[in-house]
Amino acid sequence: MAQFLIVARDGTDADALARRMAARPAHLDGIKDLVAKGALISGGALLGGDGKMADSYALCEFPSRVELDAWLARDPYVTLCVWRQIDITPIRIAVRDGKMSP
């Protein structure tokens, strides 16, 4: 399985936080299956200087980049224009669930 770090940047316009909050329930509902399968290892919001949710990060594991891209293409944060820039970096996780990986 391929592992990835995703850093997704929200828009910076005046409606960005409202767009995020409106899409959030559908986004969280949509990742439940990924969490159950163990594909989404960790994820959450990055906070802006004001302490409000501004961007996102995820550590995930997919069979390939193709499957990762397919998930992103249908995620509400993408389809509803919350995330405006998505940086994806292949990684190798060394510590997971408090245990060292080989």
The per-residue pLDDT for 101 is: 83
CATH classification at residue 20: 3.30.70.1060
Per-residue tens of pLDDT for the chain, all 102 residues: 999 999 999 999 999 999 999 999 999 999 999 999 999 999 999 999 999 999 999 999 999 999 999 999 999 999 999 999 999 999 999 998 889 987
Beta bridge partners of 4: 60, 90
Q: Give me the percent of the chain exceeding a pLDDT of 90.
A: 95
Measured distance CA(12)–CA(94) in Å, rounded: 33
Number of domains in the chain: 1
The per-residue pLDDT for 17 is: 95
| CA 47-23-31 angle, 5° bins | 85
Domain around 92:
2-100
